[in-house]
Amino acid sequence: MDKNEGNIVMFPKWKSTLENVGLQALKEKRYRDALEALQPLLDYGVASDDVVTGILMSWIELGNFDDAEELCQKQMKENMDQYYHYLHIYITILFQSNRYQDIVDLLDEVFEEENIPHQSRTQLWQMYEVSRKLLEDDQKEKGEQLHSDFLEALEKEDVREQWGLIQKLKKQPAQSYIDTFVSVLQNKVTHPIIKTAIIEWFRDSQVDQTLTIQKFGQEIEVNPFELNQLQSDYILKQIQMRLSSIEQSNPSMYDMINQFLSHYCYVRYPVFPDEHEVPVIVEALKQLGHQYLQLPYRSDEEYEQVQQYKEEIELCEQHYLLIVGESS
């Protein structure tokens, strides 16, 4: 029944009867009966806080968390005098749904307020601590499962599965898994893209120690904490600057070769091109752009290794699209 439908009103006696019947059913834990009696009061807009609370409790007990969450949010916005009452119920809904991260995020915001009643602050802090602990336990359990699944995918040499699992593991602090993944970085068989993803994870987790990486026949030492974000690297920007004339004359070609460049550098990361490689890579990208769009091209420069770089860039592009996908 819609709230305030037409000119229909709820007479006081009917209102009182429904309220008494509904709240009695709630006491007796007959939640469906309670909802049947109390719902019309909400629809007509004559529900007291006790009635609204009864409806919320019934929905929670029956597992109807979506409706309970929507109503609770509405009450928190519109009934400021009872804000903390409904906030407690809202947290209960989130807790029952195992949404511990949402509870922690919500209470982080709430605690910024200075005028929280003392009793409410104490209760909310207890909820916060319980939720934070459960969130840590939940994340640890998920992390251990992802770690186990990754090792299995490594054994099966399923690179796409490895990629997907690393993206999920990035939500975990890398420090707990350094020992395992250090050996993965040193393994010559591990795909370069997987090594890039691991280094990104370590970098974003601020792992501050020197690690040895085997990549493209080189053995390099890097400290993830000291690495730049891929797109901010100086050499990458220098190459893009040298291609800026194409951006002006043929934007479609520029987008394509810039994607080649981005994916090529991603596969190589954290091994970036040096200053001597820049002109050769620029020339290789120009040739590839004209080649793919079937446009004539005449180079003013001749470099011995252009063909080698073209093949490397194309190979990296194929691997990137195969493992990471076109939308990434």
Domain map of the chain by residue range?
A: 12-97, 138-228, 231-323
Q: Name residues whose C-beta falls within 8 Å of residue 299's C-beta, 6 or more positions apart in sequence.
A: 283, 286, 287
> Across the strands, what pairs with 215?
218
- Lowest-confidence region among 61-70, 127-136, 161-170, 301-310: 301-310
Q: pLDDT tens across 202-252, in order?
A: 999 999 999 999 998 889 999 999 987 766 678 888 899 999 999 889 999
CATH of 12-97, one of 1.20.1070, 3.60.9, 1.25.40, 1.10.10: 1.25.40
Q: pLDDT tens across 288-316, in order?
A: 999 999 999 887 777 778 999 999 999 99
Q: What is the mean pLDDT of residues 319-327?
A: 85
What is the model's pTM?
Answer: 0.72
Q: Name residues whose C-beta falls within 8 Å of residue 180's C-beta, 6 or more positions apart in sequence.
A: 147, 151
